[in-house]
Structure 1
């Protein structure tokens, strides 16, 4: 009986708390949403299963959790904690991104910039709630709807809140089709949603090759803190557009990004142990994340309406919502909302311009905040 009693105390049942059970339920919900609703399955399924794994109580000293030095999970989580995975994700994004629509209509870059208002307004809100400047900046990046960027900045400035910020950022990225349409419809009229835009001009190969080099120089000089992200993003794009390194580009946008996504999602989920995750700050982070995402969407739409006051060729304000960097989900939402009003109106390619500009904008914003707040 003594042996049985000793064994029971070493099982997960003995150490299970209501918090662990709640986080396991959240993980199961993420898995269900990814399978049943198809909400960002490539992200939510690894994160959800990681939550379940991370909240199984383990005996102390066995080196099993992400927070125990020497454990297998801690080695995987090292890529998150040290900000290694996000630049690799950006390499893959660059290798699969076509910047042609942005280059063909540079004015649409302004919509991507306007959507970053969600970041800086959330920064003020987090400071008002009492968060230190470093943590407030990390929370604010959630408004960019860019999970890798949020993880990268949090790892540098607010490692204590890394799990909560990462889960919040990826959760709202998955909920783009739920959160954005009501905001878009509230701020636009039916006539505005039916605006047709002229086809984009053809972009030459020379422009496509020069842009990654020029884009990197400009963004890195403005925000040196964004060098790891911008360097990998534009390097991946150059691999794609040069047409002489197709094997490398194909690896970056398929095998590499898939492997890193699996490791990042699973380890981030495993870091959400109830004992470290269920805190007052986590609730505030989720609330601020939701607010920042709504503000970013609204800012993009409203700035498009503002631009129309001075433009002869009007912009469909819906594409302003794609200024957040959830690529390509926000652009797809714009397409879906636009086709509800006019089934023959195709906005996807136009929306991709502010969408990819938003990726650059959120990374530059993160670089600026890191440069200013780094100690």
Structure 2
């Protein structure tokens, strides 16, 4: 695992591949796999799985699902939804890409994962690290007891590492799939200019989005609720200080804590298992299928 940590650091620093994610995660992998942290005879109480240690306390933000909503708050404060408001049909592209989630879910079930574990693995196809961590902390946290009396596996570390790894490799994974499924003419298509979006529409969007989420998918409120709140801070024009804090200092701090703790949770005895290998394979397949689904969806929309 020390080699894996160095691998993450190398690619994050040398090739600038998602350095804000790979560098903290890679450093966390090194911290979590220092041998003396895992030897109880030393009685150092430093390991991430030792109750009361600093790492264990910080790791509760992952296990309890505190960090992902805060990340979404920052993302909302950074995002301009003008394109989506101007052309709501763009949501269909996102919906088409979700085929990667469902096919990966079926693949995980076929490989023998329990339904909650398969659901957590499938979300890798959403190409969103915080969401993958949030879902896995709820479904595959090593604590939930299934109807048959078995305890689900703790897959938070492998799922998070897989999700962030493939996010960093998007420039490598997606171009071949896109070129395979499109013609040169299609790749040269230009989108129509967007209509002007009023300030009222920009303010109304997060409010309506929050209400729709509350009634359609209330379980998504911890993430989408914070996303819409962050966007409202940005678009209202009267909470610039809060928006700036959420989109800069806050999200940076949470990203550091998230990366370090997720990386440190990947101790070799937990991470280097056949399940992890399957998760990485399913994750790669999920990204490819999701990309293909989005491209095919765009082709259909442009018929």
The answer on 1:256 being equivalent to 2:250 is yes
User: Which residue in 2 is equivalent to 1:48?
Assistant: 26
Aligned equivalent of 2:144 = none
Which string of whole-angstrom CA distances, capped at 9 and with x for unpartnered residues, describes residues 93-139 of structure 1? 00000000111111111101111111111111111111111000000
Please, which moves more after superposition, 34-43 or 215-224? 215-224
Distance 1:292 1:40 in 2: 19
Worse overlay, 113-122 or 38-47: 113-122
Match of 1:242 among 211, 236, 246: 236
Q: Which has the higher contact order (CA 8 A, sep 6+)?
A: 2
Aligned to 1:104: 86
1:304 match:
298
Please give the secondary structure, in 2, of the residue aligned with 1:195.
coil
Q: Distance in 1 between matches of 2:52 and 2:9?
A: 28
Structure 1 runs of 4+ with >6 Å offset? none
Counterpart for residue 168 of structure 2: 174
| Separation (CA, whole Å) in 1 of partners of 2:140 and 2:24 | 23
Q: What is the distance in 2 between the residues matched to 1:267 and 1:184?
A: 34
1: distance between equivalents of 2:250 and 2:90? 30
Gaps of 5+ in 1: 1-22, 310-375
Distance 2:167 2:191 in 1: 27
- Is it true that 1:210 corresponds to 2:204 in the alignment? yes
Coordinate RMSD, CA, aligned? 0.7
Cα distance, 1:220 vs. partner?
A: 2.7
Under a length normalisation based on structure 1, what TM-score does the superposition of the two structures give?
A: 0.76
Q: Which structure 2 residues correspond to residues 109-128 of structure 1 after superposition, within 5 A?
A: 109-128=91-110
Distance between the aligned counterparts of 1:91 and 1:194, measured in 2? 35
CA separation in 2, counterparts of 1:109 and 1:202?
19
Bigger radius of gyration among the two? 1
For residues 153 and 80 of structure 1, the distance between their equivalents in structure 2, rounded to whole angstroms, comes to 10
The answer to whether 1:278 aligns with 2:269 is: no
- Separation in structure 1 between the aligned mates of residue 191 and residue 79 of structure 2, nearest angstrom: 22
Unaligned runs of 5+ in 2: 142-153
Q: Tell me how far apart the structure 2 counterparts of residues 296 and 63 of structure 1 sit (CA, whole Å).
A: 42
Give the CA deviation at 1:143.
0.2
SS in structure 2 of the partner of residue 227 of structure 1: helix
C-alpha separation in 1, matches of 2:161 and 2:284: 12
Distance across 2 between alignment mates of 1:220 and 1:177: 35
